[in-house]
Amino acid sequence: MGKYWVWLLAILMGWSVYVSAKEDLLIPHRDVLVRDPTLTLRSVVAAAIHQYPRSHVVKALEEESGAWQKRTKGLLAGPVMLGATYSGDQIGDDTGQWSIDTDLTFMIWKWGQRAAAKQVAGRAARHAQFYRRALGLQVAGLVREALWDLQLKKVDYETARKVLAVNQQLTDAVRKRVEVGDLPRTDLLLAETHLLQRRAEAVASEAEWMHARRRYLNLTRLERAPVSFTESLSDKQAIDLEHPLLAAVTAKLEEEKARVEWTKYESDTGNQQVYFTVGSHHEHTERGGQTINGMVANLTVPFGGGNYQAPNVASVRTALAEAEAERGELFRRLERELHEAEHALEIAQVQKAQAEARHKLAAENLELGRKAFAAGEMNLIDLLKIQLMAQAALRDLEAWRVKAEREVARYNQAVGEMP
């Protein structure tokens, strides 16, 4: 019987037993994801940004700022207009009277209008630049969460497989002892019940791991993931104006201010633009008479058009107010997120230390339980309870080790640090 005790000891203490998921999946579904040691967190973020749908918004903003730049380089405020008018005899008349008028109209920059357009162009370009940075940080946050969720699910699955392997070997050992009459059959039924429970947990963990893989694949469009993506804790301790999200909203706010000034000059149905027209007049008064030729010049300068522009200006001011409110709300949200990230990091560090202490105690308790079971002072059901406690302690320890690293990444995200 001595060999059975040795075998049981090896089973109960065999926490290093691990069955590779690649070689032995519990369910046939598999989302292939290769760990690439040459891949870094920064390169994954860059790839995800390139594939991210909202990257098209960045291109649109850059094209818009380029269009404004192109407009400000023009000598005129708008397109040149060519016109012509002809008048002649009435129907049934044959006096030979006719006149032709031609004109060329130029839209002239009003005083300060071109400068206002340049202001919009410059701030639109700045907004596009900071929007790109803000989008990069947002995608970095998604990638960070996806990678750490993947790692957490992977560790949970590996732990579940370790636990399953231990319970499988324990069940096999109990079965042999039942066959030789050393243990009652009820102990075998109990061990098999625990084995099925552990298998169900492992199946659920494997499914969650595959779901995490799919989320990562869906976000990054990559079938590779970095082996290591831990980060150093940022030195920043507060939200400043350089935070990419805050800087982007501020740039948008400055652009809206420039648009308010531009709208004051923009033409509308009230004909608020300055026009300069030059042309010619050709008139023939009678048949056989001389043709009179002349030149025409006309300058149209609007004034008193504030009422016409008021709705347009008010509309842009509303957009400006929205941008100001958005910045204020964003700053408060970032402050809350930073506080929560600081708190979560402290909690994770404490929980990790407690999980380590709990795991140590659970391992010692398991050793004592084994000895008691070997001496006949403890039955199988009590030993299984102790083993469950040890397995739960192992799960907590592995999980908090990952969570402690994840909270560092979340803190860096909160203060606006790019990988």
Cα separation, 244 vs 226, whole angstroms: 25
Q: How far apart are the first and last CA of the chain?
A: 59
Closest residue by Cα to residue 147 from 102, 139, 96? 139
What is the per-residue pLDDT for 354? Answer: 95
pLDDT in tens, the chain (419 residues): 444 443 444 444 443 333 333 446 777 777 888 999 999 999 999 999 999 999 999 999 999 999 989 988 888 888 888 999 888 766 556 666 778 889 998 888 888 888 889 999 999 999 999 999 999 999 999 999 999 999 999 999 999 999 898 888 888 888 888 888 888 898 889 989 989 999 999 999 999 999 999 999 999 999 999 999 999 999 999 998 899 999 999 999 999 899 888 887 775 544 577 888 898 888 877 666 677 888 888 887 777 666 667 777 788 888 888 889 999 999 999 999 999 999 999 999 999 999 999 999 998 888 888 778 777 778 888 888 888 898 889 999 999 999 999 999 999 999 999 99
Question: H or E segment at 274?
Answer: strand 274-284
3-state secondary structure of 149: helix
Tell how far CA 378 is from the center of its chain.
Answer: 55
SS3 295: strand
Question: So what's the pLDDT on residue 13?
Answer: 40
At 50 the pLDDT is 92
Q: Return the closest-CA partner of residue 410 out of 402, 209, 224.
A: 402
Q: What is the number of residues in the chain?
A: 419
Burial 78-116 (b: 16+ CB within 10 A, else e): eeeeeeeeeeeeeeeeeeebeebbebebbbbbbeebbeb
Give the model's pLDDT for residue 305.
64
CA dist 202 to 18, 156, 391, Å?
A: 12, 9, 13
Estimate to the nearest angstrom the gap between the alpha carbon of 131 and the chain centroid.
12
Q: What are the strands, taking DSSP E only, across 2-153?
A: 34-36, 81-87, 98-108
Instruction: Classify residue 181 as exposed, middle or buried by CB count within 10 Å of its CB (0-12, 13-18, 19+).
Output: exposed
As assigned by CATH, the class of the 2-414 domain is mainly alpha
SS3 224: strand
Which amino acid makes up residue 13?
M
